[in-house]
Structure formats: structure tokens, C-alpha cells
């Protein structure tokens, strides 16, 4: 291991130079992967735009039924059409999402703690690879807590998923968690996203931060940005816009969609930003237009 003392901070991210190993494939860092991986990544990332709108509704795996997710069976049918990929647990998807939707699935494959505990950072890979195969998962999502108590076990879990996923050509999405003691600094996200990419994940889910362009530039696989806690619709669309402008390959949004006053209009507005080049203001106007028509 390199000597930590005297380590110089990275500073030359060449943000204005496109990724060099793109080849003819539309997903960053994936041009050397095999057919099965590319097929699954193409289900997540639209081949026409290279981007994705993931709908995250896996919150129940550690917090039970939260606002907006009380009835998955009623919610998901309203939103699935406008999502490229559904991120959920096997229990939620098997019970409440019709298989006929034929949507890309980012299967939540790690867990280990609940909101009844103070420290949520202990997770391991709990879903067998056979389950991911049987559910035709397009990716397995594993939460990692870099810099927290659970760092070692979650690093092991994400590496386990990468090993098993490589065997069957199922991509792994490493999810950067920010626990209560972890700062949301550029330095932290540079570290965590790059570590996950070096472990071999094919997708990294992270949070937006200052100098996000640097984080995206230093990460050789696509970043999808988490929505985070509910904010006004306009602000959530600004988050999506800045993420895409900063080099993200999409968003993986939960509460800012399903807790919106109009979840259907909101996911469509997010899609306008991600796939159609709308600015945040244009997308917000779209949201208002649709909402005026559909909400009494």
C-alpha cells in the first residue's frame, strides 16, 4: 500500500476532456465488458441518450412504510412507465410489481440494520446471486459505508457482489451511503465513488456535491445521483439538472418523486431533464403544466 504520509491531493481531473475508453458502447467504462453485461446495462441506460431515470422505492428495507410508499401496489403502476429502471427489494418487486412491465430492475441486495438502531452502517450482501438471476435483475445494489463503522463489511459485500456478478454478467451498483458522521464533501465523494469503481462496480450511486464535475471525471463508471430528502419540486429538478450538467449518467430518485404533490408529473419532468435536455426551469414549467391539468 502506498505511503499515506506525504500523499498529495489529486487536482488534475481534466473535466473538459471526455472519457477516453468509450468505444462504441454508450455506458462509461463498459466498452470492455461482455455481451450479457452490456445487455443489462443497456436496459438501465437508454442507448439513445446514454442516461437513466431510476425510481428508488427500496426505503422499506430499513425504515418500513414511509410516506408515499404505504401501498407499493398502487404507486408503482402509476410511475413505472416513466422510469427506465426500478430500484427495489425482492420482496417489494415480487409482491407488487407485475412482471409484465418488463422493466430493468436494480435489485437491492444488501441490508443489515434498521431505523431502530443508531448506527445504520452495518450491511452485508443478503440476496443470493441465484435470486438476482431468477428475477432477471439488471443490476444488484449494494450499500457501502466508506469511513464509517461498517466500512470493512460493506466493502466485502460490494466485492462479493462484483465477484458473483462477473460470473453471471450481472452489473453491481455500489451505493455511497452518507451516515450521520460522514461529511458530504467533494473530498469524501471523490474517495468513495472512486473506491467503488476500483472494486469493479459497473455503476455508482452517489450524492450531488460541490465540484461534482471532478467527482464524475475521476470515476471511470457512470454516476447516478440520489434524490435525498424531499425538497420543493423546483429544487429537486435543479438537482437533477446540475447532476446531468456535471456529468452524471442519470438520477436514482425516490422521495422527491413519490412524495411529490404529483408523482406522475414529477417523474416525467425528471425524465425531460435526464433524456431530453430540458433545463430545470423548463422542466418545472412542464411539471406545473401537467399538474394544473391533472390535480384538482
Task: Return the active site residues.
Answer: 205
Kindly state the smallest distance separating residue 103's Cβ from ligand 5RP, in Å: 16
Site string for ligand 5RP, 197-236 (x = CB under 6 A): --------x--------------------xxx--------
The span from the CA of 92 to the CA of 38, in Å, is 26
Strands 52-56 and 85-88: parallel
Q: Does 255 bind ligand 5RP (CB under 6 A)?
A: yes
Kindly state the smallest distance separating residue 226's Cβ from ligand 5RP, in Å: 4
Number of chain positions touching ligand 5RP (CB under 6 A) = 15
| In contact, 142 and 154? CB cutoff 8 Å | yes
Based on CB atoms, which residue is closest to ligand 5RP, 25 or 57? 57
Q: Does 254 bind ligand 5RP (CB under 6 A)?
A: yes
Name the nearest CA neighbour of 81 among 59, 66, 95, 97.
Answer: 97
End-to-end alpha-carbon separation of the chain, Å? 61
- Which one among 175, 239, 240, 249 touches ligand 5RP, defined by CB under 6 A? 175
The span from the CA of 257 to the CA of 80, in Å, is 12
The span from the CA of 84 to the CA of 47, in Å, is 11
Name the nearest CA neighbour of 114 among 154, 78, 65.
Answer: 65
Q: Does 246 bind ligand 5RP (CB under 6 A)?
A: no
Q: Does 139 bind ligand 5RP (CB under 6 A)?
A: no
The sign of the CA dihedral 274, 275, 279, 284 is negative
| In contact, 132 and 140? CB cutoff 8 Å | yes
Kindly state the smallest distance separating residue 207's Cβ from ligand 5RP, in Å: 9
Site string for ligand 5RP, 31-70 (x = CB under 6 A): -------------------------x-xx-----------
Name the nearest CA neighbour of 112 among 84, 81, 143, 91.
Answer: 143
- Which one among 33, 87, 148, 266 touches ligand 5RP, defined by CB under 6 A? 87
Q: Does 127 bind ligand 5RP (CB under 6 A)?
A: no
Kindly state the smallest distance separating residue 31's Cβ from ligand 5RP, in Å: 27
Q: Which residues have C-beta within 8 Å of that of residue 225, sequence separation ≥ 6?
A: 205, 206, 207, 208, 239, 240, 243, 248, 250, 251, 252
Three-state DSSP at 180 gives coil
Kindly state the smallest distance separating residue 251's Cβ from ligand 5RP, in Å: 8
Site string for ligand 5RP, 256-275 (x = CB under 6 A): x-------------------
Query: Where on the chain is the footprint of ligand 5RP (CB under 6 A)?
Result: 56, 58-59, 87, 143, 175, 177, 205, 226-228, 253-256
Amino acid at each position: 500500500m502506498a505511503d499515506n504520509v506525504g500523499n498529495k491531493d489529486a487536482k488534475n481531473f481534466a473535466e473538459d476532456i471526455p472519457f477516453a475508453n468509450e468505444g462504441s458502447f454508450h455506458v462509461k467504462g463498459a466498452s470492455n465488458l461482455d455481451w450479457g453485461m452490456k445487455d443489462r446495462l443497456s436496459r438501465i441506460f437508454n442507448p439513445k441518450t446514454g442516461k437513466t431515470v431510476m425510481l428508488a422505492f427500496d426505503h422499506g428495507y430499513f425504515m418500513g412504510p414511509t410516506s408515499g410508499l404505504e401501498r407499493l401496489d398502487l404507486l408503482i403502476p402509476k410511475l413505472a412507465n416513466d422510469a427506465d429502471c426500478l430500484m427495489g427489494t425482492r420482496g417489494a418487486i415480487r409482491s407488487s410489481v407485475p412482471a409484465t412491465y418488463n422493466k430493468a430492475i436494480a435489485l437491492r441486495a444488501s441490508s443489515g440494520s434498521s431505523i431502530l438502531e443508531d448506527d445504520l452502517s452495518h450491511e452485508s450482501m443478503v440476496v443470493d446471486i441465484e435470486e438476482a438471476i431468477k428475477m432477471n435483475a439488471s443490476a444488484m445494489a449494494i450499500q457501502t459505508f466508506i469511513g464509517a463503522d461498517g466500512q470493512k463489511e460493506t466493502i466485502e459485500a460490494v466485492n462479493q457482489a462484483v465477484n458473483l456478478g462477473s460470473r453471471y454478467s450481472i452489473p453491481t451498483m455500489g451505493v455511497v451511503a452518507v451516515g450521520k458522521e460522514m461529511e458530504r464533501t467533494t473530498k469524501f465523494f471523490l474517495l468513495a465513488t472512486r473506491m467503488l469503481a476500483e472494486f469493479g462496480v459497473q455503476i455508482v450511486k452517489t450524492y450531488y456535491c460541490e465540484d461534482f464535475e471532478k467527482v464524475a471525471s475521476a470515476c471511470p463508471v457512470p454516476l447516478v445521483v440520489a434524490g435525498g430528502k424531499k425538497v420543493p419540486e423546483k429544487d429537486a429538478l435543479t438537482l437533477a439538472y446540475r447532476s446531468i450538467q456535471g456529468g452524471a449518467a442519470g438520477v436514482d430518485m425516490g422521495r422527491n418523486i413519490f412524495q411529490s404533490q404529483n408523482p406522475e408529473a414529477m417523474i416525467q419532468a425528471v425524465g425531460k431533464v435526464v433524456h431530453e435536455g430540458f433545463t430545470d426551469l423548463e422542466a418545472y414549467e412542464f411539471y406545473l403544466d401537467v399538474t394544473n391539468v391533472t390535480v384538482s
